[in-house]
A and B are shown apart, each in its own frame.
Chain A
């Protein structure tokens, strides 16, 4: 079978697109469009890029309210919505801890920061950050948001079967596997070896928790707990499957850092999501909803 595949760096990781039964010539044209879409979203959301919308907000919104674009307004509306529906577990305003300092020694004196310090006016499309130690970081949102755009683009081009993996932690499929009804995915906990097998047909999966460091087998987390702003040190993996790559990523990030009350709220507000978790001492994944 002819298979088009394309890999490129974006958002600090690699994006892999696999499209069965697509010629290389047509695939390359499509890949070019995908790269443009993803780079555009990266230029909007990356807190690592000095000219991004987010970097502009982080630099200026602590001084006075800043006006944002329609696209950024949509992102901020979603931020508000997901923060509410996860009871604060999804918090895209922890830049100070996730990127700026990674220093947990200030936690006591800075106990109230994060999205609660972001004053977002959706009618005026203006944003003000009232705590200078708060800033936006869409690390737990951006890949899912970009995948939404990619799926929209592929569907516009009548692609009816595709597998897209963003950093291997956010996966979306379109349609059926060309040789079967669904795409069979197996996820392994790198430490415990526990295995989760999923069948995807149009769904998106997000995996949060662990990643390996580059040069050794040390396992570490990059997720910050919104309750107390500490980094997650437990070797837990959370897998969320929904119809939306963005919701999958938001929920997997949120649940990784959530307390019991927040998880209860999430399960109530996202009844269709399939949520699995595996701690390092568990022999298999468990579905928690």
Chain B
């Protein structure tokens, strides 16, 4: 397929909603996560061993035995991060320059958890060196870097997986089945929010004030787009997943309304992403009130999903299950048995509350025996398993990269809408 026809195919496919990620593919990954088994060893390194990098190190270490993966090296330029990372994984090789790390023999993949503005360089260099990459979201600080990363992935064929763990979260996978099977009807509005109450700062050593921008990179525009890239990108990706489509336009506003401490990124944003079919995705985020926490609500004409909260509501409740006492009565009568009709105990369970509070999207989310207790099955471990499996197969889960790529693109476009005060659309040159 020529480059031009490929772009047209993807463009038309995206608009028609046919090439976006299939939850079924991810369910297979989830199944793989639960069954385990003999797998070829995958050797991984972490580039950027700060807090998120160390969390992902923990994921790899937790999976190393069951999923046959090995953490072989870490790379960082900040000595305290290196030392605390070594407490987690004593004995791994330490690099201060990722380019030296990429020269390692038998390195299968790297996990990039650097500050946002440094995602692109190690990712592109690794892909060009034949090394697969798991890169934290959002993909990059700029549209150009994001596109360059995609180009390297598509040109080399090496895996580039982005850390949108909701793509592997069993609750979100089940929720998407409800959406795409039509169970909640026609979705015309989505609402999401992410509210915290803290200044979003990390402590800077008092004797090294020059490290402020280095440590608090999330607060400065040279390195981050703040609430948009660090938080909103998650829900923008989910919204596109729900719609199996891309927005047509985004409008937004933002301000530094509370934490006026020299930061350059907004502490208060509100955006509307509009889709071709008239659907509106309304997003807001703030860090001066945490009452409403985080949520993404999917509003259909037959029902509502609250994906973060694992709740499902119906406009018209479906036929409820019969309580145990009634089931027993019916069975007895059908068998001509004269038996007692039990009432109470567990048969009281549903009652009023269940209708007011909805139903669980995923009723049970059990951990396998070997699953670490600190991880509550939100997709974080599954995405690492998915990355290792993709390395073994030499190819990514179909459609997933596009999902993440456009999530990042529309995150940056959202920031552009806030900055300009204008309605922003996606230039065709960023179609892949």
Q: Give chain A's interface residues, CB within 8 Å of chain B.
A: 1-3, 5, 7-9, 12-14, 16, 18, 20, 163, 165, 167-169, 171, 177-180, 183-190, 197, 207, 210-214, 222, 237
Min CB distance A6 to B, Å, is: 9
A13 partner, pick from B336, B340, B345, B350, beta carbons under 8 A: B350
**Residue picked from A20, A168, A186, A207, most chain B C-beta under 10 Å:** A168
Contact A210 B348 (CB under 8 A): yes
Query: How many A-B pairs fall under 8 Å by CB?
Result: 109
- Among residues of B, the one whose C-beta sits closest to the C-beta of A19 is B333
Q: Chain B: which residue is nearest A215 at the CB level?
A: B360
Inter-chain CA distance A23–B87, complex, in Å, is 72
User: Are B329 and A163 in contact, with the CB atoms below 8 A?
Assistant: yes
Write out the residue numbers on chain B whose beta carbons fall within 8 Å of the beta carbon of A179.
333, 336-338
B341 interfacial by beta-carbon distance below 8 Å: yes
B353 touches A213 (CB 8 A): yes
| A18 near B334: Cβ-Cβ < 8 Å | no
A186 touches B341 (CB 8 A): yes
Taking CB atoms, residues of chain A closer than 8 Å to B330 are 3, 5, 18
Contact A212 B337 (CB under 8 A): no
Q: Does any Cβ of A come within 8 Å of B322's Cβ?
A: yes
Q: Is the CB of B326 within 8 A of A165?
A: yes
Taking A16-B322, A186-B342 as contacts, is the C-beta distance between A214 and B348 under 8 angstroms? no
Shortest beta-carbon distance from A25 to chain B in Å:
17
Give B contacts to A, CB under 8 Å.
Answer: 317, 319-323, 325-326, 329-330, 333-334, 336-357
Decide if A16 touches B326 in the complex (CB within 8 Å): yes
CB contacts (< 8 Å) of A14 on chain B: these are 320, 322-323, 350
Q: With a CB–CB cut-off of 8 A, which chain A residues contact B355?
A: 9, 12-13
CB-based nearest A residue for B334: A3
Which residue of chain A is the closest to B355 with respect to CB atoms? A12
Q: Bound state CA distance, A16 and B352, in angstroms?
A: 15
- Asked, given contacts A16-B326, A213-B353, whether A186 binds B340 with beta carbons under 8 Å apart, the answer is yes
| A2 to B, closest residue via Cβ | B334
Assess whether A16 is in contact with B323, with CB atoms less than 8 Å apart: yes
Whether the Cβ atoms of B338 and A180 lie closer than 8 Å is yes
Residue of A nearest to B358 (CB): A214
Interchain CB contact (< 8 A) of A185 among B337, B340, B349, B357:
B340
Known contacts being A13-B351, A214-B350, A214-B354, is A187 close to B343, with CB within 8 Å? yes
Contact B352 A222 (CB under 8 A): yes
CB within 8 A of A190: which of B325, B326, B338, B344?
B344
- Cα(A249)–Cα(B423), bound, Å: 59
A186 to B340 Cα, complex, angstroms: 6
Q: How far is the CB of B429 from chain A (nearest CB, A)?
A: 50
- Besides A1-B333, A184-B338, 17 more A-B contacts (Cβ < 8 Å) are A9-B317, A9-B320, A9-B355, A16-B322, A18-B330, A18-B333, A163-B329, A168-B325, A171-B343, A183-B341, A184-B341, A188-B344, A197-B340, A210-B348, A211-B352, A211-B353, A214-B349
Query: B343 near A188 (CB under 8 angstroms)?
Result: yes
In Å, the complex CA distance between A123 and B170 comes to 61
Q: Is the CB of A13 within 8 A of B352?
A: yes
Contact between A189 and B338, CB atoms less than 8 A apart:
no
Chain A residue at minimum C-beta to C-beta distance from B323: A168
Q: Given A12-B355, A214-B350, A214-B357, decide whether A168 and B334 contact each other with a Cβ distance below 8 A.
A: no
Task: Tell me which residues across on chain A come within 8 A of B322, comparing CB atoms.
Answer: 5, 7, 14, 16
On whether the beta carbons of B333 and A212 are closer than 8 Å, the reply is no
Which residues of chain A have C-beta atoms less than 8 A from B343's C-beta?
165, 168, 171, 185-188, 207
A198, B152: Cα distance in complex, Å: 76
Residue of A nearest to B347 (CB): A168
**A189, B340: Cβ atoms closer than 8 Å:** no
In the bound complex, what is the Cα–Cα distance between A187 and B348 (angstroms)?
11
Residue of A nearest to B326 (CB): A16
Name the A residues within 8 Å of B333 (CB-CB).
Answer: 1, 3, 18, 20, 178-179
How far does the alpha carbon of A5 sit from the alpha carbon of B334 in the complex, in Å?
11
B349 to chain A, nearest CB (A): 5
The winner among B319, B333, B345, B352 for most chain A CB atoms within 10 A is B333
Question: Nearest Cβ distance between residue B352 and chain A, in whole angstroms?
Answer: 4
